[in-house]
Structure 1
Amino acid sequence: MRNPVVVGVSGTSAGLAAARLAAREAVSRDCQLRVIHAFTWPNPGASEDYEDARRAASRVVEEAVASAKRSTPRVRVAGQLVDGPPDRVLVRLSRTSALLVLAGDDLATAPSLPLSSVLPLTVGHSWCPVMVTHGPRTPAGALMVAVDGSASGLLALRYAAAESRRRRVGVEVVHVVREFAGRHEEEGHRVLAASIAAVPELGRVRTLVLAGAPGPTLVHAGAHARVLVIGPRGTRGTGLLGSVAREVMHRAACPAIFVHGRAIPAQRTPSGSSGALAR
């Protein structure tokens, strides 16, 4: 049995849009969609309020399931109300999921954690790839993947190769340098060539060396991409997310997929500089 696509919702229009996107992802993978709402109760002494809150939470799940079915009638979908903090619930479910889909504007409303923490905690600690979306629009461009010569970038490239075949779309491989000067641009092309050589299943791709601050440059470049794939480098102290990944997570116009090393077995790292893309 194939692992499901899991979408986390909390009752916003952004969450409903994420559920519809997740339904399409599930059908394209021929797997089930699971709609999850994490329920926490901060006031144990108020039993009447608890029952009302739990009924409201159940309606959140029901509405998202109905929206997914309306948008994609072929989807096999099940909804579930799960007790616990949203980041812990979703990370636990990610262990047996093919893909975790989150709406960036949706999880920011979760009451049990500070406004800005649920999304990066979930993305940073997930065991499966995480797709973050900020709206209903899905551009029709190529699949874009960012590389920087690191093992993290290579994992993203390998995942992008598989996704491009499944989606039947072209791939744009991007490397960001701080500025267009002779050695920086040459080094950027070397990083691209070494990365692509390490993933022969890619086939033909378009390569781009871009100049600027890595985060904003990737966000701008991905404005017309179908999907932006990134291997989020960081440290345990920052929840496995670096500054570039956080910028993409919060600002990318297209859906962004974050791929961790634990989700895909590591292979050899291409030679070349680590570049400027310090994720």
Structure 2
Amino acid sequence: MPDPSPSPVVVGVTGTAAGLAAVRLAAREAVSRDRELRIVHVFTWSHARARGAATQIVDEAVATAQRSTPGVRVTGQLVDGVPDRVLLRLGRTAEMLVLGDDDLATTPWLPSGSVLVQTVARAWCPVLVARGPRPQAGPILAAVDGSECSLLGLRTAAGEGARRNVPVLVAHVVERPGGEDAGREVLARAVAAVPELTDFTTKLLTGAAGPTLVRASSRARVTVLGPRGAHHAGLLGSVARTVLRRAASPTLFAHGSPVPGQRPAPDREREPSRVLIP
């Protein structure tokens, strides 16, 4: 009996420019991971004209993927249903879900019922949100706050850094003066909890957590974090909401298995090459 196909990279499209940016990013991710790219457009059947328009959306997205990333293995699919429910179901067997930001930074608030918010908050696999025409050079930025969710994000960042052969910048934000020692402890515990993290630097940032990480994202190849932090049990944490709306780099929201228990201290061989304090 043949082995099952590897989990695909799934990208959702709606016919927008942001959706096509997500397709280009997803195509590169699929090739780099040796996965099939599955392009999905979800809508409720109404009449033949609507189906024709939906087919054009998928066809354009498939052509965009093939033009932008030669060699990508890509299929297009129309699915009848509620978009966030369909994406969440597909995410159970996907390597990654990729979505466009649909100009969230221009909206005055982040609608909790949007497909993007629901998918980022509730997916079973990592969710990558595309930003702009193409990711820039730079490190993987991993934001940690001591929560289990942020440690999962750091583990995800470690895998991304190793796969891309780029370093990981592990950052913790201290919001008030005098919290530097506690911040260093958060960083030390985080890197100790993720033994697969090898090529990394730690950095303390100061200021309001969300806006500070947004500014730091402008120098990152990818920003990685968990959808909820240490003090937020809602659909999305306040920091995740800010970063989702305004980040300058593609943003990867981590989902998956919990991180193994923390070690008491980092191994000497795994100490960061530099500890940066602005």
TM-score, length-scaled by structure 1: 0.86
How far apart are the structure 2 equivalents of 1:126 and 1:203?
Answer: 28
Which residue is equivalent to 1:117?
A: 114
Which residue is equivalent to 1:196?
A: 191
Matched AA of 1:247: T
How far apart are the structure 2 equivalents of 1:157 and 1:236?
Answer: 18
Which residue is equivalent to 2:8?
A: 4
How far apart are the structure 1 equivalents of 2:26 and 2:51?
Answer: 24
Q: Number of aligned residue pairs: give it.
A: 255
Which residue is equivalent to 2:26?
A: 22
Give the alignment partner of residue 227 of structure 1, picking from 222, 230, 240.
222
CA change 1:65–1:4 in 2 (3 A) is same
Does structure 1 residue 60 correspond to structure 2 residue 57? yes
Which residue is equivalent to 2:242?
A: 247
1:157-176 correspondence runs (5 A): 157-176=154-173
Matched AA of 1:126: A
Matched AA of 1:72: T
Matched AA of 2:71: R
For the Cα contact (< 8 Å) 2:155–2:259, is it kept in 1? no
Q: CA deviation at 1:197?
A: 1.3
Q: CA deviation at 1:2?
A: 1.2
For the Cα contact (< 8 Å) 1:132–1:256, is it kept in 2? yes
Task: Report SS of the residue matched to 1:89.
Answer: helix
Q: CA deviation at 1:199?
A: 1.3
Q: CA deviation at 1:258?
A: 0.4
CA change 1:237–1:211 in 2 (3 A) is closer
How far apart are the structure 1 equivalents of 2:233 and 2:189?
Answer: 30
The structure whose residues are more often helix, as a share, is 1
Q: CA deviation at 1:116?
A: 6.0
Matched AA of 1:5: V
Give the alignment partner of residue 94 of structure 2, picking from 94, 97, 114.
97
- Unaligned runs of 5+ residues in structure 1 are 45-49, 109-113, 273-279
Q: CA deviation at 1:106?
A: 7.1
How far apart are the structure 2 equivalents of 1:250 and 1:40?
Answer: 27
Structure 1 residue ranges (4+ consecutive) displaced by more than 6 angstroms after TM superposition: 234-237
Does structure 1 residue 153 correspond to structure 2 residue 150? yes
Which residue is equivalent to 1:76?
A: 73
For the Cα contact (< 8 Å) 2:140–2:223, is it kept in 1? yes
Q: CA deviation at 1:150?
A: 1.2
1:126-141 correspondence runs (5 A): 126-141=123-138
For the Cα contact (< 8 Å) 1:23–1:68, is it kept in 2? yes
For the Cα contact (< 8 Å) 1:10–1:106, is it kept in 2? no
Which residue is equivalent to 1:86?
A: 83
Matched AA of 2:254: V
For the Cα contact (< 8 Å) 1:141–1:226, is it kept in 2? yes
Task: Report SS of the residue matched to 1:152.
Answer: helix
Matched AA of 1:210: L
Percent pairwise identity? 58
How far apart are the structure 2 equivalents of 1:227 and 1:100?
Answer: 15
Which residue is equivalent to 2:213?
A: 218
Measured on the aligned residues, the alpha-carbon RMSD in Å equals 2.2
For the Cα contact (< 8 Å) 2:99–2:130, is it kept in 1? yes
CA change 1:237–1:159 in 2 (3 A) is closer
Q: CA deviation at 1:153?
A: 1.2
- Unaligned runs of 5+ residues in structure 2 are 106-110, 266-278
Q: CA deviation at 1:99?
A: 0.5
How far apart are the structure 1 equivalents of 2:34 and 2:155?
Answer: 21
Matched AA of 1:163: E
For the Cα contact (< 8 Å) 1:99–1:129, is it kept in 2? yes
